[in-house]
Structure 1
Amino acid sequence: MARIDEARRSLIVGAAVIAFGILFVVAIAVFQSKGLFKDKVEITADFRQVSGLKPGSPVQLEGIEIGMVKERRFVEIEYPCDPDTEDRGRFGQGRTDHCDRTLFCAPEGKCAELDPYSFNKDLYLRCEQDDQCREGEVCVTDEFRRRYRRVSWNSNKGLCDGYVTGHKRIQVVMAVYADRMQHIRDDSRATISQNGVLGDQLVQLSVGRGTQIEPGGQVQTIPAMIEELDNIKDRADGMFDKVESTIGGVAELAKTMGDPKTVRNIQDLLANANDVTRRTAEGTGTLGSLLNNESTAKDFSASLRNVRESASGLDRSLERARSGLQTFEQDLEPAVQRGRESIAKVSHAVEDIRDPNSKSLAAELLSDPEGKLVGHVEQTLGGARRLTAGINAGEGTAGRLLRDPKVYDDLVGFFQGLQRSGAIKFLVRWARARDTRDPRIPRAID
């Protein structure tokens, strides 16, 4: 009996070991197929909403599973960008794409989102460029809409609107296989989709062609279907608002057209137009005379010719003025150069005067702190003034000569005696006769 029990225990233990081995092999195969033993790296993607996505949800690359969602967390983040190259130009030739499709690059170099339109035009300034808007606003122009097509805006163009650069997102951390990272590039995109019609939510990645993303890098996102529906709803609301405004304008126009006074005004206007047309066709009135009278047409043609001739004369005058300006400009430069040379000479002279080692009289006068030289000059001038005063008073030899009338009478008598002297007259005639250059005196023949 004991042998039977021992054999039964051995059989049970052996069966359990075999079953455990089979389960172990199956588990290894399953885990291997799930990639649990493969090397993984982490990348992130920021979504507006992740309805139905949870840790453990699959991550697919074009439909092929390459990892799973590891963590979800709320973040407040800013994305840097370059306003000169963001969404501008050709791919691979300096174009950058750092902002999500629903964002634009603000002037301060951060990805921004426009404030929702409030459907009240009085709250928005009209503009043609950003500098016409207030601080913290951007001008929504045609060029802006062409550049950022996915940015939500439900009003007309040419309005200033505010924006925000700080974004609240749900950051999804994904663990993907390291050997699949070569297909995830900086132009790859992530979106949340369903695994079948009734399946769980998953993260779907697209294959890119740009630079390979590094471990820990970020993949830009594409709005989910529910977000696209919200955008369509907002656009529809904007269209309905425009339709209501248009219908209101049409109703107001119909109301105005139904007013008897407006109808009479239109009838009178049409009657006046018919009367003007009739008189013009008959050649009466100012316009009719102008169009049907040959003399008036000739005068009008002559006036046009005079205008053309005046315009030609004006062109010639402008050309002469332009030539004169060119000549003046050519002559101005040498004059300016001469002026500069003169100023340089004056500056050199001033520097020489200011030089304490200079020996010139002006430098000595300016650099004479004790006033010795000035005192000498004043003494010299004082002596000259005293000498002049003495001469005027008849003092000294010069004064007596100038003030004594006898000296003057003696000099006059002396010169009169010279004029009466025959010897002096003979000498004068002889000198003039010897001077052959004087044609008035005949030459003596030897």
Structure 2
Amino acid sequence: MRSGAEIKVGVFVLIALAALAYMTLKVGTGVFVPRESYEVDVFFDNVSGLKTNSPVEIAGIEVGLVQAVVLDENRARVTLQLLPNVQIRSDAVATIRTRGVLGDKFIEISPGSDPFPRVEAGERIARGDTPADLDQLFTKVGEIADDIRVVARSAANVFGGEQGEQDLRLAFQSLRDAAMGLNEMVQANAESVEFIVRNFREFSTDLRDIAGTNKEGIDRIVANLEVASGQLKTTLEQAGGVLARLESGEGPLAKLINDPEMGHDLRETVASLESVSRKIDEGQGTLGKLINEDTTAQELDKALEGLNRILTKQDQFRTSVDFTSEYLARHGETKSALTLRLQPAEDKYYLLSVVDNPRGRREKTETFTERWVNGERTTIREIEDKYRQSKITFSAQLAKRWDNLVLRGGLIESTGGVGLEYYLWDDRVQLLFEAFDFDPDDNPHLKAGAKLYFLRNFYASLGMDDFIRSDRRSFYAGLGFYFTDEDLKYLLTSVPVPGN
């Protein structure tokens, strides 16, 4: 009986050891990935430390193993064996990560978003990222250490040796002697210093009381002195210029004083003016009729009123040119726009824009194909959803303003749309909302943000673009500048003319 029990125990131990060895070998070769799994490829610039059978994870959960790592056209091609229920999209990103202190490598996959097509078996993930290697980090640390060693060597050259130590000792000795001398001087004159401080405190108290009681009067006196000083300076400068010209004989007044013929001409001029004045009083000539006859004056008033209306409308018409560039953080691209603003009235204006949108516009193409399925003729409907890249679009809008609120509408980026703006703090801050690209099969393009105007012709903008579409939603930030008609007049008149 005893030998039979021992034989049973021995057989059980052998079976357990065989099962343990079998499980160990299967775990090492990735047997726990089902046979129905599928393989995809991804390329990396550097896979240092990554081994076959390394885990593949999504959101920290193991979903597969590294099947193979081979060299393909000077890049590392890694074959991933994934579970059949794992779905990844064409915008997925595979990244090599390091776990723990020992530095075990594994691959983490960001599966992508739904609108993009699924990556099937045998296809490849378009993007593979490799983080910074420890060797590169150690190289940077070594360079920093070299710089520190150079600085330390320079300091040692300056302060090292007997001469450097003696210079430092002399410097500290001089500082200590100066501090002791200053301390002795303060102690010897402590009573005098205290008396001066007390008198100064009393004087400052009296001065504060006087200034507090007569603050408004002092402010007016200072303001008047500043104005008078500026006017006196201007007057003296003008008088100095006039006297200088008189002394040099320049100008009519200097000639009148120094030239007898000028005096004679002046008398004749006065006589002519007297004759003209007499004719005007008698009603002779156009000017005499204008002054003495009401009909001529009324006609002139009507002409001046018409001219005034024309000039008033011309002054109200304003033009500005605006250029803005916005960086779309999610897509890593820049969207630019050039806008011409025509404002014929204070509460109405027109906007004409040319927009360079690198993301393009979403366009859907619907096709119907007739096929024979199981002996029956069936119509298959196919919809292709794509974005047109680097598309130049145009905007033409009419805007109406009520106080701080602006409502605009028309053509926005080659599609119909509306916009709403609200201004704060004397138009220094602008809140905006736009809705356009109204597609019955998709959500519209919605944009919300703000602009902060600073300096004279510049502003900064930020907000969310296309925030209702999950695959297109992106935070944006940008800068812009604009020129008004006054700025354009100044620039055009300041440009030098060739040959002048």
Same fold (TM over 0.5): no
The structure where strand makes up a greater share of residues is 2
With structure 1 as the length reference, what TM-score do the two structures score? 0.31
With structure 2 as the length reference, what TM-score do the two structures score? 0.28
RCO higher in structure (CA 8 A, sep ≥6)? 1
The structure where helix makes up a greater share of residues is 1
Give the number of the structure whose alpha-carbon radius of gyration is greater.
Answer: 1
